[in-house]
Structure 1
Amino acid sequence: MESMQLEPEPRILIESLRDIGYSFNSALADIVDNSITANARNISILAIPSDDFRIAIIDDGEGLGRDELMHAMRLGSTDPRCKRNLNDLGRFGLGLKTASFSQCRRLTVVSKKNGEVNAFTWDLDLVASENKWTVLEQKRTDAIPFIGEMRETGTLVLWEKLDRLTGVNGSGKANYDRIISEAQDYLSLVFHRYLAGERGLKRIKINVNNRTLDPIDPFNVSNQATQPSPVENVCPGVTMQAFTLPHRSNYASDAEYEKFALPGGYLKNQGVFLYRAKRLILHGTWFGIAKKTALTQLCRVKIDIDVNQDEAWKIDVKKVSAQLPEEVRASIKQLIAHIGAPSKRVYRRRGARLTRPEVYPAWNAIKTGDKTLYCINRKNPILDSFNSSLDDDQRAAFKTVLSLVESSFPTESLFYELSNNEGSVCFEEMEDDDFSNAVLTFFGSLKQMGKDEDDILSIMRSVDLFVRRWNEVLSILGIEER
């Protein structure tokens, strides 16, 4: 057997590395990771819209000497199998390069250490034209943009030729205000524990265009109505803690309530928030174990893993995805079973606990003079829960759909059928899965409104949809009736 060396084509591989799945926000976060690992306390991101759009990420960390910087510019500069310091947010030795290449065609890194300034540049157009792994050393650093913003020690990462935002030769039109605003919110969430100076972490400050970011705590622990569970040690290197967020009535304003909903709303963002070395990796997932329902929409689970858990959790190079190990899956299942159903107990049916039960019909009949107007009840818990999970554009579209259904009600056809053959009029039963979701959503929505479980069951016994299949309702809720 004869061994052979097959060197990759630089011009092909470098372009392929640009498309491994970074978003603008995740790419920025990867650069911030390096700054935190370098013990930076202040990180500035400058992204000033202009004809020649550039982005600079500047920190006051320990900095790198010439040889260290040259090594850091190498693709795959760190072995992911090596044991890392517990505060090391890197893994593959690729993040600086692949995150940058995903956004720009020219990457310059300047670093100050021990009074020396060194700088190297990757220019992808040069790599493509020469078909060689050519990196440029910058001898005249004083002309590098934003270098005047650096402190005595630290590093400047400069992105130029941002073709993924501006198009080739700056031909595209990007909404810079939106891009920068979304990046601010993203970083405020991903690094919220560092921005808050959580116990055991050095507090950092991140500025984006001179605006200091405030942490966005997805668990809202500062609100006294938040219900935390005890911290559970799942296995070595992994801890878990569940939080039930406050009901809407416990917020000072609608704006505050929406802030902690996070983009997409409470229904979308329920589930696991996975942290690696206190840095958010992913959030809003049950890892396929359970569906997202209104009953669990206020539940968020914080899972902390250390940097030695990367292989078990299959953390990817972008640090935005992971897989749930089997030993943790059982704990999550048990947690969901606990929070995803009412208390397992006997419900003793009573005659009329509620003097005027609210039945929350799907349709309202409204008398206006000598006419009766039929309209869909937007306050029905199932419709209201779904509507609350939508963003503004989706909510407007849903409103249009409801209006279409209302205005297209087949009044004449229904009246004719009822007059001639009442027994022929029927409605299709819900599929079992849809019915189960309806039961859990209805029950969960009313429970989050603060209603007692017995009162909710009394209400549900007055709803035609549920009465016809009452035994199924009790089975879905895990309740025995006597």
Structure 2
Amino acid sequence: MDGEIAEIGSRAVPPDPSIAEAVGRHHSLATAVADLVDNSIDAGAQHVFIRFVTERGRPVGLRVIDDGRGMDDATIDRAMTFGGRRHYGESDLGHFGLGLKAASLSQADRLEVYSLALGSALPVGRRIDSDEATRVAMLDPSRLPEMLALPVSLLAGEPIPHGTVVAWSGMRTFLGSSDPAELTAWLDETMEELRAHLGLVLHRLIARGGVKISVDEFDVAYGAPGASRTVLPIDPLGYRGASQAVRLVGTLPEGSFELAAHIWPVAQQAAPEFRLEGLPGGRAQGFYVYRNERLLAAGGWNGAIRGGRDYDLVRIVLDLSPVVEPHVSINPEKSGVEFDADLRNAIGAASSSTGVGLRDFLGEAGVVASASRRRARRPVTLSEVRRGLSPALRESISSSVELSEHGPVEMRWKSLAGGRLVEVDLERRTLWLNTRHRRALGAVTGDADDLPLLKMLLLLIYSRYFEGSMLGAKEKNELQAWEELINEALDEELERRSYGEEPRHER
């Protein structure tokens, strides 16, 4: 009874429509858009526009427009098939054959693609709806030139001579608020988060000038885009003197590989390249894994090392090569990796040409980190602010006070009942501000970090209430008193700003 059972036949099994729900479920908006930009770069695009489509300020869709080689009928059919893996070149960023579909349908109910191949005069178009994810509709070719000529599909004001437009509609992950101020703030915040993510994961490609990526808003009610924002490179190893990295060599059955081990300079910890996404740089300690110059993992030890405070300044670069790649699993969203046991062991045994091993390097990093923490305790403790203040102010807080061990808080806007100014939300660790008063208090742009003076003063008052999991009777009475005083002052402030109009009682 031993041995393998012989095959008597086979048949192709098409993917179940539910595959659309399974793949890409871990995508964020930023990682989904990054997957589309990967496709544009693989197609040789020199310019990529990411366009948030709005209707009188309300976000309703998104387009990614590029001037790459474009696609013909056969190529677009393959691109729209789940698991339809094309032939990937050695330098391509694509990997699974899932990116376009999984990324798009993780965010939107409808995906449309219009493409004009280099050297062709006939564009092609396809459509997929999320409720029939394995059904690909062919779009009327007579209408496609019109679609490519629409103002919302233009690249720098001109129709693409060749390239692709990816259009999302029926957005599931966009803010559903009807409040104009909230929508403006959300869009600004989302565009900046997207710029930061793309600037990080594609920093090598952007820095060498291979592609220019821009983000803008196009309001269909007005028929014109707003000012574009260029994606700038954010190099997580971009400190002065970065060439001083320790080169460690490891060995696998397939051959040798190299690690570039960095200790970030203590004096440069305020740099945005260290504080990725505005968070303390120590949270991004670990391995920085690149494939074809694209960053796949920004930090994390992948089971090779047990992290800790002593390694806050450590960043180790691993470029995937044919030697290493068989030992690394990349998730479909290209936002994380896993190392197998062979690679973890090889990393642990890696050493430099002078005999410095990984453990020696980490020991030195621990000494540097420990020395950087030797400072006098500061007399004030505040909650770290993860969102709501500018990076410069967040850094000022970090360098001026002790940060609470209870974790960061966010300062955000939403409509609050009764016209009150603030609300303490312990469950979400958020200090909510009433968007109803945002403009009256001087906000102009709707940026997430607006009204810095007001927010800093509120942080000084309310920070300590986030140091527990619940509020006692004493704390509730204090909050009631603060609310009454602040609301009285708010009423008077609004009355003074009305310049002689009837007082507005907004409590």
Provide the TM-score with structure 1 as the length reference. 0.63
Counterpart secondary structure, 1:164:
coil
User: Which one of the candidate residues 186, 210, 229 is aligned to 2:246?
Assistant: 229
**Aligned counterparts of 1:224 and 1:49: Cα–Cα separation in 2:** 44
After TM superposition, list the pairs within 5 Å mapping 1:26-45 onto structure 2. Answer: 26-45=31-50
- 2:259 matches 1:240: yes
**Aligned counterparts of 2:60 and 2:365: Cα–Cα separation in 1:** 57
**Aligned counterparts of 2:25 and 2:366: Cα–Cα separation in 1:** 47
Change over 3 Å in CA distance of 1:90–1:63 after alignment to 2: same
* AA partner of residue 338 (structure 1): D
**Aligned counterparts of 2:109 and 2:98: Cα–Cα separation in 1:** 16
Change over 3 Å in CA distance of 1:3–1:41 after alignment to 2: same
Corresponding position of 1:323 = 338
Corresponding position of 2:106 = 102
Corresponding position of 1:400 = 464
1:189 and 1:215 in contact (8 A); partners too: yes
**Aligned counterparts of 2:175 and 2:188: Cα–Cα separation in 1:** 13
Corresponding position of 1:136 = 138
After TM superposition, list the pairs within 5 Å mapping 1:240-389 onto structure 2. Answer: 240-248=259-267, 250=268, 254=270, 257-263=271-277, 264-306=279-321, 310-333=325-348, 337-342=359-364, 384=402
Structure 2 gap segments, 5+ residues each: 1-6, 217-227, 350-356, 368-373, 381-396, 412-428, 431-458, 473-507
Answer with 1 or 2: which has the greater Rg.
Answer: 1
**What count of residue pairs does the alignment treat as equivalent?**
359
Higher strand proportion (structure 1 or 2): 2
Q: CA deviation at 1:110?
A: 1.6
Q: CA deviation at 1:163?
A: 2.0
Q: CA deviation at 1:240?
A: 1.4
RMSD of aligned residue pairs (Cα, Å): 4.1
Provide the TM-score with structure 2 as the length reference. 0.61
User: Which one of the candidate residues 173, 176, 186 is aligned to 2:187?
Assistant: 176
Higher helix proportion (structure 1 or 2): 1
Q: CA deviation at 1:332?
A: 3.6
Q: CA deviation at 1:328?
A: 2.9
Counterpart secondary structure, 1:62:
coil
Q: CA deviation at 1:107?
A: 1.1
Q: CA deviation at 1:72?
A: 1.8
Change over 3 Å in CA distance of 1:167–1:401 after alignment to 2: closer
**Aligned counterparts of 2:61 and 2:466: Cα–Cα separation in 1:** 46
User: Which one of the candidate residues 124, 127, 147 is aligned to 2:132?
Assistant: 127
Q: CA deviation at 1:77?
A: 1.4
Q: Deviation per CA, 1:180-209: give whole Å up to 9, x if none.
A: 211110000000000111xxxx62111111
Counterpart secondary structure, 1:96:
helix
**Aligned counterparts of 1:71 and 1:344: Cα–Cα separation in 2:** 50
- 2:40 matches 1:59: no
1:34 and 1:90 in contact (8 A); partners too: yes
2:203 and 2:235 in contact (8 A); partners too: yes
**Aligned counterparts of 1:344 and 1:300: Cα–Cα separation in 2:** 13
Corresponding position of 2:353 = none
**Aligned counterparts of 1:288 and 1:247: Cα–Cα separation in 2:** 26
Q: CA deviation at 1:311?
A: 4.3
* AA partner of residue 141 (structure 1): L
Structure 1 gap segments, 5+ residues each: 346-357, 365-378, 409-482
Q: Which moved more, 1:181-190 or 1:5-14?
A: 5-14
Q: CA deviation at 1:225?
A: 7.4
**Aligned counterparts of 2:37 and 2:167: Cα–Cα separation in 1:** 13
**Aligned counterparts of 2:341 and 2:44: Cα–Cα separation in 1:** 34
- 2:225 matches 1:218: no
* AA partner of residue 30 (structure 2): N
Corresponding position of 1:69 = 76
1:86 and 1:307 in contact (8 A); partners too: no
Corresponding position of 2:225 = none
Identity of aligned residues (%): 24
**Aligned counterparts of 1:306 and 1:329: Cα–Cα separation in 2:** 16
User: Which one of the candidate residues 115, 122, 125 is aligned to 2:120?
Assistant: 115
2:263 and 2:365 in contact (8 A); partners too: no
1:265 and 1:391 in contact (8 A); partners too: no
Counterpart secondary structure, 2:289:
strand
User: Which one of the candidate residues 133, 138, 160 is aligned to 2:169?
Assistant: 160
1:275 and 1:305 in contact (8 A); partners too: yes
